[in-house]
A and B are shown apart, each in its own frame.
Chain A
Amino acid sequence: MTAPTTSLSEVQQAALIRKLTALADDEIILAQRGGEWTGQAPILEEDIALANIAQDELGHAGLYLELRRALDGTDADTLAFTRSADEYTSARFVELPKGDWAFTMLRQYLYDAYEALWLDAARKSTYGPLAEVASKAFREERFHLQHTALWVERLALGTPESMKRTQDALNALWPYVGQLFQPVAGETELVDAGLLPDLNAVKTRWEGLIVPHLTVQCGLVLPPAGAEQPGRDTHTEDLAPLLLEMQRVAREHPDVLVW
């Protein structure tokens, strides 16, 4: 870490831990959904590509949880593999089952665009360790975004069947995506202090990027905005089965020393 760590108040530190955990949880759950395609993607090359993307997202989760460890000493593996659905703080957007290829690519696209823009802003964080992590992850995220943007376009402009599936995916995802831009408790204070990006500003840039792409370029119809979403303590019923599978090995072998 290059810059000296900004001195944080107790309240700020608690909020930052909450935020880092929420960021990591989204990455972990989405990576698990991406990993579910391994061996099953439509073609070998995309199987490899999606596994790469999922692994990168998991890597970002590791970066966020390392930042958390520096604050409270918690262990990344313990957080990932022992918390229950009630303790996870993932957004419902990433919990939804993987669906078909159009759903997977569109969700990843919407998420990549959000994450790339959030990271872009976070590179200027006054909290040095976060700025450093953001610079690193931003590069990968920009490449993910190119890949998934291409897929959304090819599917939307492909056959009537692929167009229908992509529109269906957009209709299903749109009500959930707003949750990515909901601040966690105490986040506003960290934004004011320059530690975290302003989510409203990120959302404005995000909409400026994805709305023209989805509508003008891809010919998709944007559904009406969904109702206000509950917070990150409310989960879909899909999260618990996902964790059951993801945490199975770790739970069956709690005394393992080395993975």
Chain B
Amino acid sequence: MTQPQPDPQSDTQWPRWEVFKQDSEKRPYQAVGSVHAGDPDHALLTARNVFVRRPAAVSLWAVREDHILSATPEEVVSHPDVLDTPGEAGAYHIGVKKSHKRSMTFVDLIATVKAGGPGDALRQAQAQHPDALTWVVFADVAIARTDDDAETVESWFAPARDKTYKQQQYYGVIGKHVGELKREGRMPRRTTQEPHVAGHKVYDHPHDQTSEMLRQRAAEVEVKP
């Protein structure tokens, strides 16, 4: 249950806002990360800079962290009262995380429901998607959203389409990417063991590696420009 209670004495950070990005009108909003910002407008502006300079998007939502209720199945078992979390009745958005496959924490927003409060919305999310790894809910009224007029789309989102964009795995992957291993049939479908190549652990994303390991590995690998 990601409801951190910052200590007002020691916490000088601005509030955290979860950012949800829609790649095209036909795609669901996806959680892409978070920004710290002083207010809703500022959150959207920084979110655009951080998450939409390159990849395509048509719309952004920012939701302040204390307006989001989330829980894993394990957390619901250990703290069942999370399903009774009180709050305003109204429209709630439901997001689910269905896979650990990607290193990015994709949570797709997949439904909007009428709920008596965040706890009720979480209960509905659980009923609709019992197999999810995490449920996320927040009220529709909590969303700061980019305008969808032509001018905003043109100045916020259109420039990214003209810029070169490379998926993150293009950069700095040392050794082999797991996708490559999968294509070669060397990646077990289900395993508790991390994939290895020639004695080296293979990671889904270079950031998953510790800097010390990266340094060790860098010495062994020929880097092509």
Looking at the complex, which of A19-27, A139-147, A191-199 is the stretch in contact with chain B? Answer: A139-147
Q: Which of B31-45 contact A (CB under 8 A)?
A: 35-39, 41-42, 45
Query: Closest residue to B49 on the A side, CB-wise?
Result: A49
What's the dominant secondary structure at chain A's contact region? helix
Query: Closest residue to A139 on the B side, CB-wise?
Result: B155
Contact of A140 with B49 in the complex, beta carbons under 8 Å: no
Q: Does A52 contact B (CB under 8 A)?
A: yes
Contact of B14 with A43 in the complex, beta carbons under 8 Å: yes
Q: Chain A residues with Cβ under 8 A from B42's Cβ?
A: 150, 154
Q: How far is the CA of A139 from the CA of B156 in the complex (A)?
A: 8
Count of A-B residue pairs with CB < 8 Å: 43
Q: Does A136 contact B (CB under 8 A)?
A: yes
Given A139-B154, A150-B41, A45 and B159 contact (CB-CB distance below 8 Å): no
Contact of A143 with B14 in the complex, beta carbons under 8 Å: no
Q: How far is the CA of A101 from the CA of B3 in the complex (A)?
A: 32
Q: Does A244 contact B (CB under 8 A)?
A: no
Q: Chain B residues with Cβ under 8 A from A143's Cβ?
A: 48, 155-156, 159
Contact of A49 with B50 in the complex, beta carbons under 8 Å: yes
Q: How far is the CA of A142 from the CA of B149 in the complex (A)?
A: 14
Q: How far is the CA of A142 from the CA of B151 in the complex (A)?
A: 9
| Per-residue contact bits, chain B 144-159, to A (CB 8 Å; 1 contact, 0 not) | 0000000100111011
What's the dominant secondary structure at chain B's contact region? helix
Given A139-B155, A139-B158, A46 and B46 contact (CB-CB distance below 8 Å): yes
Contact of A45 with B49 in the complex, beta carbons under 8 Å: yes
Q: Does A201 contact B (CB under 8 A)?
A: no
Q: How far is the CA of A165 from the CA of B50 in the complex (A)?
A: 27
Contact of A142 with B155 in the complex, beta carbons under 8 Å: yes
Query: Closest residue to A153 on the B side, CB-wise?
Result: B41
Contact of B159 with A49 in the complex, beta carbons under 8 Å: no
**In angstroms, how far is the closest chain B Cβ from the Cβ of A35?**
15
- Of A56, A146, A154, most buried by chain B (CB within 10 Å of CB) is A146
**In angstroms, how far is the closest chain A Cβ from the Cβ of B53?**
5
Q: Which of A161-210 contact B (CB under 8 A)?
A: none
Q: Does B220 contact A (CB under 8 A)?
A: no
Q: Chain B residues with Cβ under 8 A from A45's Cβ?
A: 35-37, 46, 49-50
Q: Does B208 contact A (CB under 8 A)?
A: no
Q: How far is the CA of A146 from the CA of B36 in the complex (A)?
A: 18
Q: How far is the CA of A140 from the CA of B53 in the complex (A)?
A: 10
Q: Does A71 contact B (CB under 8 A)?
A: no
Q: Does B194 contact A (CB under 8 A)?
A: no
Q: Does B162 contact A (CB under 8 A)?
A: yes
Contact of A140 with B45 in the complex, beta carbons under 8 Å: no
Q: Chain A residues with Cβ under 8 A from B155's Cβ?
A: 139-140, 142-143, 146
A and B contact pairs by CB, cutoff 8 A, 7 listed: A43-B14, A43-B36, A45-B36, A45-B37, A46-B46, A52-B53, A146-B155
Known A45-B36, A46-B46, A139-B155; further 11 A-B contacts with Cβ < 8 A:
A43-B36, A45-B35, A48-B50, A49-B46, A49-B49, A52-B49, A139-B154, A140-B155, A142-B151, A146-B155, A154-B38
